[in-house]
Amino acid sequence: MDSFSFYQYLQNKGFERRESQEEMIHLVEEVIREGGVRLIEAPTGTGKTFAYLIPIITSRQRAIISTGTKVLQDQLKRDIEFLTSHYKLLTGEEVSYAVLKGKGNYLCIDRFKKENLSSQEKADIPELMETEWEGDLTLSSVSPEVAGRINVDEDYCTNAYRKVCPHRGECYYWEKVKSRERSAQILVINHALLALKEFEETKDKVLVIDEAHELDRYLTLASTAGISLYFIRELTSSLQKLTGREISLPVEEFFRDNFAKLFKEETEEVSLDSLAPYMEDFKTRICQPLYDLFDEAVGQLKEELKEFLEGRLMVSFKFKGYLEKTLLLPREIIELTGASYEDPDHDEEALIEKLKRVEFLSGKLRKLKRFVRLCEEEDPSFGYKLSKKWSRKLQTFNYRMEVFPVFPRGVVEPEAYKGVVLTSATIDPEDISFTTGIEGDFYRLSKNFDYSSITFLIHDTNPKKPRWEEKLVEAFEDIRSLYDKVLVLLTNKAHLKLFEGNGQVAKQGDDSLNSLISALREGKIKVLVGLDSLWTGIDVRGEKGILMSKLPFDSPEDPVTYHRIKYLRSLGEDPFHYQRRKAFIKFRQGVGRLKRQKEDTGTIVLCDNRIWRYREFINYLKELGIKVVYLKNLTARRTWERPY
């Protein structure tokens, strides 16, 4: 069955024919046949998910689909299930698919069994293990800190250890998830996983990057290296278990003495021009003692292993094979002892556990050395930042030092795939090329909705002027009186406090974003206030109001933005061109929150008269057919004057 026969079938089932959707189906078919890279701007209402899934399903093309978040992965799964079930009804053919998240999201049974967790820390995991649960820790109630102690960790679950792991056959990730991945026609991943490339051979697969307007942000996050107070504490704890003695390092003192003063009240992230000035102190007080203790522990273990092998004629095949792969002892010493039985005995299991700790610590210490080296090099193409967040486990602030690529160019390599499709409602080929290095043919599909019933109201107020916050609150009260559903889109976390104490108002962070969106849809709350996620990821249908606090220029204090501006200036380029382009993309996303289906209508209010400086913003509204009204006097709400 071809794409358009299946598409016709869906129309007969009541689905609306959309010209833009048909255009996109054709473009995706071209990529499947001919390869290459296509960048497709698919306006709201296109139904872009169906537009790329239909040709992939009907052509039996193997594909990787990447989207921004794990939440969007779950939404994609529902669309795939719907289409594949109908395809099977028509053809009798099964279409296999798998949703893959990073290995760190899955339970490691071996670590779980060995960790001395309280019943509260274990939460619902024992009960989940008795069900059809797939090991996804994000679907359990354990805290992120506990999850970090029992998840699949590449430094713990090495290729060598997997051969002797007692839970290898029942492993959620390596046995179940990876098995589904190998057999799946369609693999659903997220942008972070796309950067990490934690999936099988790709040459025969088409890559679809959905929500591509945020690709560079997620690639940067995935490519960030970091060392935290919690990381050092976990490292010290593992070393204590290996050596059997108490280890005391001035970890809290180092982070507090160097970094506490750099944070303003309520600030959780700050940018730094460099981390190099802190590295000598970090190496002296933290790293070198860890390296020395580790070397001492390894030396003691080597002697213990030699004595053990000298006293045995035979060992198990698994123990000997694992010992050979660790490269801890010369092969000639290992070869002096034969192997005659399969599974390790009690003494061998104890030694395997020590070897496992050494292997785990070795991996973590390599990351520590790599991080220090990156910071000391002071490469201008990398940025540096600090974050601070309260830790229940530590009962203090968990400080984190991070280094990241200023622009994640080259992280995604289109030539590694059969063909590539990037799509979004607001894709910008210049921005994609500039930030990620990906280039291809650009297509803008026709719009799907009539926007003439929507009003865009611009208040004559400037965020740089006195009393702007007061005027923002007045505008909020005005739009709230007109609509039962209101989204408030902010650009500064500090402004959340302006909306405290209002009845039926929820703020981002009060609950999970999915729960808050559901509450707004169901009328349990009337207003949802938030920042980045609300500009780009909200689907609330019906009549509503949207209040934009100001034009969504990224704050120069945001670490990624700060370092991009700095880097562009160092090249002699004007960074405002980049900032303006990013703000325009986000603005278009914000406007797109209002009309999600044909019947939707409402008003968007912007408290920022600086929009008149940037004609592309106004032109975009006019091209859509939105009615633009300039409100020059906030207190005389009916005194409207059209500026054109």
Q: Which of 233, 248, 72 is nearest to 149 (CA)?
A: 233
Neighbours of 44 (CB within 10 A): 23
Q: What is the pLDDT of residue 458?
A: 96
Q: Report residue 455 as tokens.
A: 């009003």
- Domain span at residue 386 reads 225-405
Whether the Cβ atoms of residue 260 and residue 421 lie closer than 8 Å to each other: no
Q: Examine the domain organization and report whether 78 and 113 are in the same domain.
A: no
Residue 336, C-beta contacts closer than 8 angstroms, at least 6 positions apart = 309, 310
The predicted-structure confidence for 64-86, as pLDDT tens digits, reads as follows 999 988 778 888 999 999 999 99
Examine residue 111 and state whether it is found in any structural domain, yes or no.
yes
User: How would you classify residue 123: left for phi > 0, otherwise alpha for psi between -120 and 50, otherwise beta?
Assistant: left
Examine residue 335 and state whether it is found in any structural domain, yes or no.
yes
Is the model's pLDDT at 45 over the cut of 50?
A: yes
DSSP 178-230: HHHHHH-SEEEEEHHHHHHT-SS--TT-EEEESSGGGHHHHHHHHT-EEEEHH
Q: Examine the domain organization and report whether 584 and 596 are in the same domain.
A: yes
The predicted-structure confidence for 445-472, as pLDDT tens digits, reads as follows 999 999 999 999 999 999 999 999 999 9
Q: What is the pLDDT of residue 533?
A: 85
Residue finishing a domain among 168, 193, 213: 168
Is the model's pLDDT at 550 over the cut of 50?
A: yes
Is the model's pLDDT at 634 over the cut of 70?
A: no
Residue ranges of E strands in 308-395: 314-316, 338-341, 382-391
Q: What is the pLDDT of residue 644?
A: 34
Give the Cα separation of 309 and 316 in Å (integer).
12
Q: Residue 138: which pLDDT band, with cuts at 50, 70 and 90?
A: confident
Is the model's pLDDT at 30 over the cut of 70?
A: yes
Examine residue 603 and state whether it is found in any structural domain, yes or no.
yes
Examine residue 175 and state whether it is found in any structural domain, yes or no.
no
Q: Which residues pair with 398 in a beta bridge?
A: 389
Give the Cα separation of 474 and 543 in Å (integer).
21
Q: What is the pLDDT of residue 636?
A: 43
Q: Examine the domain organization and report whether 342 and 257 are in the same domain.
A: yes
Q: Examine the domain organization and report whether 496 and 570 are in the same domain.
A: yes
Examine residue 188 and state whether it is found in any structural domain, yes or no.
yes
Backbone angles phi, psi at 176, to 5 degrees: -90, -55
Q: Which of 573, 570, 559 is nearest to 273 (CA)?
A: 559
Q: Where are the alpha helices (DSSP H) in 226-287?
A: 229-243, 251-259, 276-282
Q: Examine the domain organization and report whether 481 and 591 are in the same domain.
A: yes
Q: Percent helix, strand, coil in the chain (nearest 5)? A: 50, 15, 35
- For residue 424, the 8-state DSSP code is E
Q: What is the pLDDT of residue 143?
A: 87
Residue finishing a domain among 378, 405, 432: 405
Q: Examine the domain organization and report whether 209 and 329 are in the same domain.
A: no
- Tokens 């006293």 label which residue? 311
Q: What is the pLDDT of residue 170?
A: 94
Q: Residue 637: which pLDDT band, with cuts at 50, 70 and 90?
A: very low
Examine residue 449 and state whether it is found in any structural domain, yes or no.
no
Residue 299, C-beta contacts closer than 8 angstroms, at least 6 positions apart = none
Give the Cα separation of 237 and 246 in Å (integer).
9
Q: How many domains does the chain have?
A: 4
Give the Cα separation of 178 and 199 in Å (integer).
8
Q: How far is CA 510 from CA 139, 490, 513, 542, 625, in A?
A: 19, 16, 9, 24, 36
Q: How many residues does the chain have?
A: 644
DSSP 558-587: SHHHHHHHHHHHHTT--HHHHHHHHHHHHH
Examine residue 465 and state whether it is found in any structural domain, yes or no.
yes
Residue 147, C-beta contacts closer than 8 angstroms, at least 6 positions apart = 137, 140
Q: Examine the domain organization and report whether 327 and 474 are in the same domain.
A: no
Neighbours of 341 (CB within 10 A): 12
Q: Examine the domain organization and report whether 462 and 555 are in the same domain.
A: yes
CATH number at residue 542: 3.40.50.300
Q: Which of 174, 179, 6, 157 is nearest to 96 (CA)?
A: 179
pTM listed for this prediction: 0.90
Backbone angles phi, psi at 213, to 5 degrees: -65, -20
Examine residue 262 and state whether it is found in any structural domain, yes or no.
yes
Q: What is the pLDDT of residue 200?
A: 81
Q: Examine the domain organization and report whether 561 and 424 are in the same domain.
A: no
Give the Cα separation of 226 and 275 in Å (integer).
11
Q: Examine the domain organization and report whether 90 and 108 are in the same domain.
A: no
Q: Give the rounded percent of residues in the chain with a pLDDT score beyond 70.
A: 98
The predicted-structure confidence for 344-367, as pLDDT tens digits, reads as follows 999 999 999 999 999 999 999 999
Give the Cα separation of 153 and 158 in Å (integer).
8
Whether the Cβ atoms of residue 296 and residue 245 lie closer than 8 Å to each other: no
DSSP, collapsed to helix, strand or coil, labels residue 327 as: coil
Q: Examine the domain organization and report whether 35 and 126 are in the same domain.
A: no
Q: What is the pLDDT of residue 639?
A: 39
Give the Cα separation of 292 and 277 in Å (integer).
23
Mean pLDDT, the chain, whole residue set: 92
**Among the ranges given (151-160, 267-276, 475-484, 626-635), the one the predictor scored with the smallest mean pLDDT:** 626-635
Q: Report residue 210 as tokens.
A: 């959905």
CB-count burial class (<10 Å; 0-12, 13-18, 19+) for 191 = buried
Q: Examine the domain organization and report whether 31 and 18 are in the same domain.
A: yes
Q: What is the pLDDT of residue 633?
A: 61
